[in-house]
Structure 1
Amino acid sequence: MFLIRTLHKWFGLVLGVQFLLWALSGAVMALLDHHKVSGEHALLPVAGLQAPAELLPLARVAQAIGQPIQKLQLKPLHDTYVYEATTPQGVKILDAVTGAPMAIDAAKARELAVGRWSGSEPPASVSYISRHTLETRDLPLPIWRVEFADKERHALLVSATTGEVMAAKNDTWRLWDIAWMLHIMDYDDRQSFNHPLIITLGTGAAWLALSGLILLFRSFRRSDVAWVLDGAEALRRRGR
C-alpha cells in the first residue's frame, strides 16, 4: 500500500500539470468563435460568371496542353473562365477563350486573393510556400500566402497550381492551433492524437484513477461511516 500511495502522489504531481493544460486548452477552444477560427467570414462567395459564348474547341485545348489529358474541367477563376487540365506531369491552366497558358505567379495570386477578400484592407505581403508550414500542413503545395493588413492578420492561401483560394488563416485560428497543440500534445505537426506521448499520459491517468480508487477505500474506517451503518442497523431493528 505504501508503494501505491507513493506512486499515486508522484503520478498526480506530474499529471496534474497536464490535466491543467488539458482543461485550459479545452476551454480556449470552446470559447473561441468557430466562425472566426474557420476564417469563413474573410472569404467572399465565388462570383457567379456567365460562361463565354465561344469557348476554345477541345481539339485546340488538347493541342495547347500537348500531353495526355486525364481530366479536364471548365471552371470560373475570378473574372474569367479557364480550362483546368490534369496531365501525368501535373495541372495546367488555360484561358477558356484564347487558350493562352495562365501562370499563377505572385501578381495573379494577389489578384485572386483580393477578389475573394471580404475586408477593405490591402495585401501586406505575398510569399511563395514550397514546404509545409503550420498554416499549410493540410493543403497541397505549392501555395501563395497573401497576408492582409488587418487587425486579425488574415492570410489567404492560394494554390500556385490551380489558383483556387484554399483557406483563410488569422490570429484567432493561430491561437486555436496553439490550444489544439497543447490539448493533443503533438508539439511538432499538431495533427496526431494517438502518438506515444499522449498514450503514455493516458495510461498514467488511468493508473492515477485506479490507485486513487484503491486508496479511497483503504483510507476509510468504520468510524467514518458509523452514522450510516448505525442508522441502517436501527432501521432493520425497527422492521423486526
Structure 2
Amino acid sequence: MKRIRLSPLIFRRIHKWVGLILGLQFILWALSGSMMALLNADAVGGHDGPAMHVMPVSTDGLIDLATMLAGRPVSGLVLRDLAGRPVYEVSDGTGTRLLDATTGRRVSVDRQLASDVAAHGILKQVKGVSFLAKPNLEARDHPGAMWRVDFLDPENTSAYISATTGRLLVTRGDTWRTWDFFWMLHNMDYVNRSSFNHPLIIFVAFCVLWLSGTGFYLLFKSFRKTDFRWLTPRPKSRVEGAA
C-alpha cells in the first residue's frame, strides 16, 4: 500500500482556500459589527416598548371581585388598564383570560382592540392590522398568538400585541430591522437570528483554529536560516581593516 505523504504543499493549498473562505466571513464580521455600532441605539429601540403604554387605572365602579370569580381558585390576578378601560387579568389552571373590571364580562382581544392598545397614548396613524398564529422573526422572543399593528410613520413602526393578554409585547422599526439583519450576519444564525451556539458557527470556529495551526506550521516551512542572514552583522573584510 502506498503511503500518503502530507507535504507542506498540500497544507499550503488547503490553507489558502480555507483562508479565502474564512476571510470573507471575517469581512462580514467586521462589516456587521461596524454597522451595528454606527446605528443609533435609541433609534434601534424595540426593547422597552411596553413601559411606554403603562397607564393609570381608574378604580371607580369596579365590580366585586368575589362575585366575578365565583369562588374559583386562581394563580394570578392583575388589575390593569387596557386601552383606557380597567380589566382583570386572571390566570388559573385553564390559562389566562381578561375580564372587564366594571361588568365582569370576558374580554376578547380582537383586531379593533389590538389596534386601540397599540395606538393608545401615541399620535400615530394605524396603517394595518394582521393576526399571527405564531411569532415572526421580529417578535421571536415572545411566544403565542399575537396581533401585528403597522403604523404610518417614517420608521414603518410595527407593534405586536398579545392575542391572549392584550399586552404590548414589543415594537419594531426600520432601524431595528437594519440592525437585526447585520446581527444575523454577525452571529451567522440565518434561521432564528438568536443563537451563538449553532452548528455552523461552531464549525467555523474549528476551521479558524485549524487555519491558525496550519499557518503556524507553514511559518517554519516557509523560512530558512538564510532568509535571516541580513539580521546578523557581516564581518569586516581584510581590505577594510588594512585601510
TM over 0.5: yes
The residue number in structure 1 matching 2:135 is: 132
The residue number in structure 2 matching 1:27 is: 34
Q: Which one of 58, 63, 68 corresponds to residue 61 of structure 1?
A: 68
Larger Rg: 2
Identity of paired residues, percent? 41
Q: 1:67 to 1:145 in 2, by over 3 A?
A: farther
- Using the size of structure 1 for normalisation, the TM-score is 0.85
Q: Deviations over 1:115-141 (max 9, x none)?
A: 143xx4311100011123111211122
Asked if 1:190 corresponds to 2:193, the answer is yes
- Match of 2:154, SS state, is coil
Q: 1:71 to 1:121 in 2, by over 3 A?
A: closer
Point out where structure 2 has 5 or more consecutive residues left out of the alignment. Answer: 1-7, 236-243
Correspondence 1:37-52 to 2 at 5 A? 37-39=44-46, 45-52=52-59
CA deviation after TM superposition for structure 1 residue 105, in Å: 0.6
CA deviation after TM superposition for structure 1 residue 67, in Å: 5.4
Q: 1:149 to 1:44 in 2, by over 3 A?
A: farther
Over the aligned positions, Cα root-mean-square deviation in angstroms equals 2.4
Q: How many residues align?
A: 228
Q: 1:89 to 1:219 in 2, by over 3 A?
A: same
- Using the size of structure 2 for normalisation, the TM-score is 0.84
Q: 1:43 to 1:151 in 2, by over 3 A?
A: farther
Correspondence 1:152-171 to 2 at 5 A? 152-171=155-174
- Match of 2:140, SS state, is coil
Deviates more, 1:7-16 or 1:35-44: 35-44
The residue number in structure 1 matching 2:106 is: 101
> d(CA) in 2 for partners of 1:9 and 1:81?
67
Q: Which one of 66, 71, 75 corresponds to residue 70 of structure 1?
A: 75
